[in-house]
A and B are shown apart, each in its own frame.
Chain A
Amino acid sequence: MTVVNLADAQIHVDSEGFLTEYSEWTEALAVQLAAQIGIQLTDEHWKVLRFLRSDYPAHGETATLRRVSTLAGVPVKQLFTLFPGKPAKKMAYVAGLPKPRGCV
């Protein structure tokens, strides 16, 4: 595990750069994480991120695209627009959560 500085905070990350401590995430940090991968957060992004954050402790794993679309009501198509390329991994990264392990 590595400790890095971002947004005036020290955070623990894994070898790929994903946060490993749920409690170290803040909204200010999310803005910085998003900027690292070229995403400027809008209200739509925040809706997804807040869902991911609130779902994780209860569900025990990062929500997949399918779970976000059905439970948070954000269509899959929009998720691909908000987090282009690899939406599930990018969402998890910005939300300070591990990569989703579910298949669908």
Chain B
Amino acid sequence: MTTTDSMPLVVPDFGDQASEGRKLAIICSKGNLDMAYPGLILANAALGEGVETHLFFTFWGFDMITKSRMSDLKFTMLGNTATHLPQGLGGLPGMTAMATHQLKKQINDIGVPDVPEFLEQIVASGGHLWACRMSADMMQLDEADLHEEVEGIISATDFIEKTEGAQLLFI
């Protein structure tokens, strides 16, 4: 058969039924700028594929949804050999600020939003944001201190219950 023959129409299978009932739970436990993005990007990707997605922010990950801190997450070279620079450099005054500035610029340059805006996009895509009860108690924070889109402060047990049957990512 040659390519000029006309074939029956092929319609993409968008798997609308297949993704129904599929759930993803992402636990965000880190407050470094570079560790905030994997969870956000994967949540965004899952939502774009029609997967019900829940994020749980706990311990240092609480910074990602805390109004006073979420725009000011930092990236440090210290303890991160993947920068391939001498570790001693990372400890010099101003290096964390410089590294953070550089990473933020690189993220912005490829059209990826900052953390607060990314959270908004996730919620607009149908995602659910949950804050960890124990972290809130430890840090003495309540709903008023958190991103408006956070649905509630819930216990780890509540989160496990809400995400029954979900695939889980711990970051």
Q: What's the least CB distance linking B48 to chain A, in Å?
A: 5
How far apart are B22's CB and chain A's nearest CB, in angstroms?
11
Which residues of chain B in 4-48 are interfacial with respect to chain A, using CB atoms and an 8 Å cutoff? 4-16, 19, 41, 44-45, 48
- Is B49 in contact with chain A by the CB < 8 A criterion? yes
A10 to B4, CA, bound (A): 9
CB of A6 within 8 Å of the partner chain? yes
Report whether B48 and A4 are in contact in the complex, using a CB–CB cutoff of 8 Å: no
Q: Tell me which residues across on chain A come within 8 A of B45, comparing CB atoms.
A: 103
CA distance A80 to B47 in the complex (A): 10
Within 8 A of B (CB), among A49-95: 64-67, 69-70, 75-77, 80, 84-90, 93
CB distance from B36 to the nearest CB of A (A): 13
A86 touches B121 (CB 8 A): no
CA A76 – CA B15 in complex, angstroms? 21
CB pair A15 B111 closer than 8 Å? no
Say whether, besides A1-B3, A3-B6, A65-B125, A37 and B11 are in contact (CB < 8 Å): yes
Give chain B residues whose Cβ lies under 8 Å from the Cβ of A85: 14, 16, 19, 50
Q: B8 near A4 (CB under 8 angstroms)? A: yes
A22–B89 CA distance with the chains assembled, in angstroms:
50
**Smallest CB-CB separation from A67: which chain B residue?**
B111
Which B-chain residue is minimally distant from A69 (CB atoms)? B121
Alpha-carbon distance between A10 and B14 when the two chains are bound, in angstroms: 23
A8: chain B residues within 8 A (beta carbon): none
Q: Least Cβ distance of B111 to chain A in Å?
A: 6
Q: Decide yes or no whether A2 CB sits under 8 A from chain B.
A: yes
Known: A75-B124, A80-B126. A89 touches B12 (CB 8 A): yes
Residues of A within 8 A of B19 (CB): 85-86
Q: How far is the CA of A1 from the CA of B4 in the complex (A)?
A: 10
Q: Is B90 an interface residue (CB 8 A)?
A: no
Which of B7, B45, B110, B121 has the most chain A CB atoms closer than 10 A to its own CB? B121
What are 22 inter-chain pairs, A to B, with CB distance below 8 A?
A: A2-B3, A2-B7, A3-B6, A4-B7, A5-B6, A5-B9, A6-B9, A16-B10, A16-B13, A17-B11, A18-B12, A37-B12, A66-B111, A69-B121, A75-B124, A76-B125, A85-B14, A85-B19, A85-B50, A89-B14, A103-B41, A103-B44
Known contacts A10-B6, A85-B16, then 6 further A-B pairs from the complex at CB < 8 Å, ordered by chain A residue: A1-B3, A3-B6, A17-B10, A17-B12, A67-B111, A76-B124
